[in-house]
Every structure is written in C-alpha cells, then in structure tokens.
C-alpha cells in the first residue's frame, strides 16, 4: 500500500497544492467581499430579474429583496467558484484511475505489479479522502482568516461554518463516488469526466428550473444540489442529517459499485 500511496502523491501533490491555494484565496476573498457586494443586491435584482432565481436556486431559499448577513455568508458556501474548484479537483482525481490509467495506457504498468485491484482502489480512495479533507480545510482556513476583517455582525458563527462544511463534505463524497463509478465503467477519461460534469450541470439546472416549473420541482430530489442548502442550515442552526444521509448513501453506493466493477472487469489498453 505504501508504494501505491507514494505513486499517488507523486502524481497529484502539485495539483492538490494548487487547489488548496486556490480555495484558500477564493474563500478569503469571498468572505471579505461578499457582504459589501450583496449589500446593494436589490439594485441588481431590479436591473437583472434572472439573478434572483439563480441565487434562490443556489441558496435553496428565497432571499427576498435584501440579503441578510447570514444569507450573504450562505451565498459564500454555494458560490460557483468554490463548487467549481472543489469539483474540478474531484473530476481530476477520481477519473485518474482506472479510466485515466487505461486511457493513457499506464494501467498495464500499475495492474501488473503484485497488488490486488482492491488495494489499488483503496489507496486511490485514501488519497481522495485525504486530498478532499486538506482542500476543504484550506478553504475553511481562508474563510476563518478573512472573517477577522469582516464586521462582527456579518461574521458566520464558527459552529454554523462547521455544519455547512459537514454538508459540503458530504457533497464532496457523493460527487467523488459518482466520478469513481463512471471512471470504473469507462476506458476513456474524457467520457467519465464529461458524464459527471453533465450530471452536475443538470443538478444545477434542475434546481434552477424548480423555482418556476412544477414538473422540475417534482423531480428536484434527483439533483445533488437539493441536498446542499447552506442557507437553511445557517438559519436553523441544525445539522442537515437527512440531506447528509442521502448524500452519504449515494456516495457509499457509487463507491462500492465502482470497486466491484473495477475488481471484476477486464482491462484493455490496446
């Protein structure tokens, strides 16, 4: 297992460090700037009516005409830049093996070493969990650091930040599990990444459409974003147990299926 972990570190260390830095900076900037920007949001709503449903879709609640301090912090945790960085890391990481390895032909080298496929998959999963934890921690650190420069009334209580972080970590696991599953079923990395990307995009779209369309509302439970609503978590101050359970269930199912598929499938690089 040590050899496999060394190989993973050699492969993903620099990208992960860049993602950490990126998330640290973005979260810091957003924490410091969002309260100022969102203070005048009613003018944006007046001039650009489509922005409001978009923010509603992101937050999961209607912000009204003014965004409160709490909601502005909730917007931080659903900001597209944060989610894009996090998911970009996941798509990069989880599609590497086996789809990426098969695609570039290195699967022959890896799978012909004296290790089982289960060991390879477990090592990859450890890397995925550790890198996710490190990246999320960096984002959180950026947020906490920047909070020091924000007016105390605009600050998000530490406990609420942890609750949202827990929910975000569950999203991370669900998306990663899905990416692993598609990677295990595919011989082409681009195809696996494309499908997961499409699923995430559809999740956003469904959440957005659910604001206007009844049919979209009736199937919005299919969207991953339906289970990530920081605004509600911040407002209620309660841990979103059922949302997290759903996301973890999806993650566990996808990850286990990916392991079984990878364990049983033939690998053909030619």
Partner 1 sequence: MSVIETSGLTMSYGARRGIQDVSLQIEAGEIFGFLGPNGAGKSTTIRILMGLLRASAGRACIFGMDCWKSGALIRRDVGYVAGDVRLYPWLTLNRGLKILSQIHGRSLQSEGRQLAERFRLEPDLSVRKMSRGNRQKVALVLALATRPWLLILDEPTSGLDPLIQDTLMVCLRDLAAEGRTILFSSHTLSEVESLCDRIAMIRGGRIVEYDSLTSLKARAPRRIQILLSPDQVPPAEWPDGVRVLWQPQQSGGQPSTQRDLLSIPPGLLSQTCLLEVTGQSSEFLKWIAGQEFADVTIGAPSLDILFRGCYADDEDENRDAPAGDGTAIDTSAQSGAVT
Could you list the residues that contact partner 1 (CB under 8 A)?
2-4, 6-7, 10-11, 104-109, 111-116, 119, 264-270
Least distance between partner 1 and beta carbon 15 (Å): 12
User: C-alpha 58: how far from its chain's center?
Assistant: 13
Cα dihedral 249→115→262→4 (10° resolution): 60
Q: Which CB sits closer to partner 1, 10 or 50?
A: 10
User: Is the Cβ of residue 18 or residue 109 nearer to partner 1 in the bound state?
Assistant: 109
Least distance (Å) from partner 1 to the CB of residue 98? 11
CB 100 to partner 1: min, Å: 11
Q: Which two tokens stand for residue 47?
A: 């001039």
> Which residue, 11 or 235, has its beta carbon nearer to partner 1?
11
Q: Which residues contact 224 (CB under 8 A, 6 or more apart)?
A: 171, 174, 175, 199, 200, 203, 247, 250
By the 10 Å C-beta count (0-12 exposed, 13-18 middle, 19+ buried), 221 is classed as exposed
How many C-beta atoms surround the C-beta of residue 14 within 10 A?
Answer: 9
Q: Give the residue with the Cβ less far from partner 1, 62 or 108.
A: 108
Q: How far apart are alpha carbons 194 and 181 in whole angstroms?
A: 13
Cis amide bond preceding 98, omega within 30: yes
Q: Which stretches does DSSP call E strand in 139-261?
A: none
Give me the least distance between CB of 261 and partner 1, in Å please. 13
- Cβ closer to partner 1: 30 or 97? 97
Cβ neighbours for 122, distance < 8 A, ≥ 6 positions apart: 1
Q: Which is nearer to partner 1, 17 or 111 (CB)?
A: 111
- Least separation in angstroms between residue 180's CB and partner 1 is 20
What whole-number distance in Å separates Cα of residue 139 and Cα of residue 143?
6
Report in angstroms how near the CB of residue 111 gets to partner 1 at its nearest.
Answer: 6
Q: In this structure, are residues 242 and 97 in contact, taking their beta carbons and an 8 Å threshold?
A: no
């Amino acid at each position: 297992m040590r050899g496999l972990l060394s190989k993973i570190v050699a492969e993903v260390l620099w990208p992960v460090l860049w993602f950490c830095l990126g998330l640290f900076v973005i979260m810091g900037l957003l924490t410091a700037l969002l309260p100022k920007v969102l203070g005048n949001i009613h003018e944006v709503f007046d001039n650009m009516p489509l922005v409001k449903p978009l923010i509603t879709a992101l937050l999961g609640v209607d912000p009204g005409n003014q965004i409160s301090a709490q909601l502005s912090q909730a917007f931080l945790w659903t900001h597209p830049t944060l989610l894009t960085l996090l998911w970009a890391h996941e798509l990069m990481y989880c599609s590497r093996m086996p789809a990426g390895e098969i695609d570039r032909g290195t699967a022959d080298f890896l799978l012909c070493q004296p290790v089982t496929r289960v060991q390879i998959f477990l090592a990859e999963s450890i890397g995925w969990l550790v890198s996710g934890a490190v990246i999320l921690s960096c984002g959180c650190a950026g947020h906490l650091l920047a909070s020091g420069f924000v007016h105390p009334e605009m600050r998000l209580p530490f406990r609420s930040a942890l609750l949202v972080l827990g929910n975000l970590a569950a999203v991370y696991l669900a998306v990663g599990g899905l990416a692993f599953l598609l990677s295990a079923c595919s011989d082409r990395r681009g195809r696996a990444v494309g499908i997961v990307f499409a699923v995430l995009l559809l999740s956003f779209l469904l959440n957005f459409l659910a604001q206007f369309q009844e049919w979209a509302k009736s199937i919005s439970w299919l969207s991953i974003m339906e289970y990530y609503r920081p605004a509600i978590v911040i407002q209620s101050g309660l841990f979103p147990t059922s949302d997290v359970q759903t996301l973890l269930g999806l993650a566990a199912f996808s990850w286990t299926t990916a392991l079984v598929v990878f364990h049983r499938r033939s690998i053909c690089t030619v």
